[in-house]
A and B are shown apart, each in its own frame.
Chain A
Amino acid sequence: ELKVEQNPLFLSMQEGKNYTIYCNYSTTSDRLYWYRQDPGKSLESLFVLLSNGAVKQEGRLMASLDTKARLSTLHITAAVHDLSATYFCAVDSTSGSRLTFGEGTQLTVNP
């Protein structure tokens, strides 16, 4: 059974600082997704990572995937308050029939 672990689960940052969220998973997969969720809202797609070594950047966020290490990272550069949200990674099954989500990282960016 695929297991996905994120850390940290809670992250309080100061504006302007950098930090990385880690997503480890237990079985082979080469498709991983990052989502953002604001309180009471749906999941907003941030990144779709489809191969080993994939790196994508959007604004202050950059995501990477290492399928050999079964690890993805979401790096935050020079955090701003608007980035405060919960971030989820999700790993696709081999068949593409289901996603397995991490527990989520609740990010708070303080002025």
Chain B
Amino acid sequence: GEEVAQTPKHLVRGEGQKAKLYCAPIKGHSYVFWYQQVLKNEFKFLISFQNENVFDETGMPKERFSAKCLPNSPCSLEIQATKLEDSAVYFCASSPNMGGFYGYTFGSGTRLTVV
């Protein structure tokens, strides 16, 4: 399809619980990116993939966050032992090529609330 599909739209977890978010990129897009948007509009880069390979993971808090993009499956972002500060909207974006020459298409986001 021509949209980046993110599920679920909303997710509520108690502190310490696991959260798993999914992203299906646009068909034919080889690059997938995850961003976290916190309350004051700030976007924080988390991780990017080229197909199933990690492209850039310098934004990932590695002790609790992990991500995968496996063939023929939606990409996933998993947070182990969620904390209150993980409450945010998580956006996935995809791109057909490296370097963003055709731009990046963002999904509608998953709103994670940790209580």
Contact = CB atoms under 8 A, between A and B. Distances in A.
Interface stretch (A11-19, A67-75, A94-102): A94-102
A43 B42 contact: no
Interface of A is mostly: strand
Chain A CB within 10 Å, residue with most, of B43, B59, B99: B43
Nearest to A104: B41
B99 A48 contact: no
Interface size class of A (residues with CB under 8 A): 20 to 34
Contacts of A50: 101
A25 interface: no
In the complex, which range does the number of interface residues on chain B fall in? 20 to 34
Contacts, number: 63
Given A42-B91, A42-B108, A97 B48 contact: yes
Nearest to B3: A42
29 contacts: A33-B100, A41-B108, A42-B91, A42-B106, A42-B107, A43-B91, A43-B106, A45-B105, A48-B101, A48-B102, A88-B41, A88-B43, A92-B99, A95-B56, A95-B98, A96-B98, A96-B99, A97-B56, A98-B56, A98-B59, A99-B35, A99-B43, A99-B45, A99-B93, A99-B104, A101-B42, A103-B40, A104-B41, A106-B41
Interface of A: 31, 33, 35, 41-43, 45, 48, 50, 86, 88, 90, 92-93, 95-101, 103-104, 106
Interface of B: 31, 33, 35, 40-43, 45, 48, 55-56, 58-59, 91, 93, 98-109
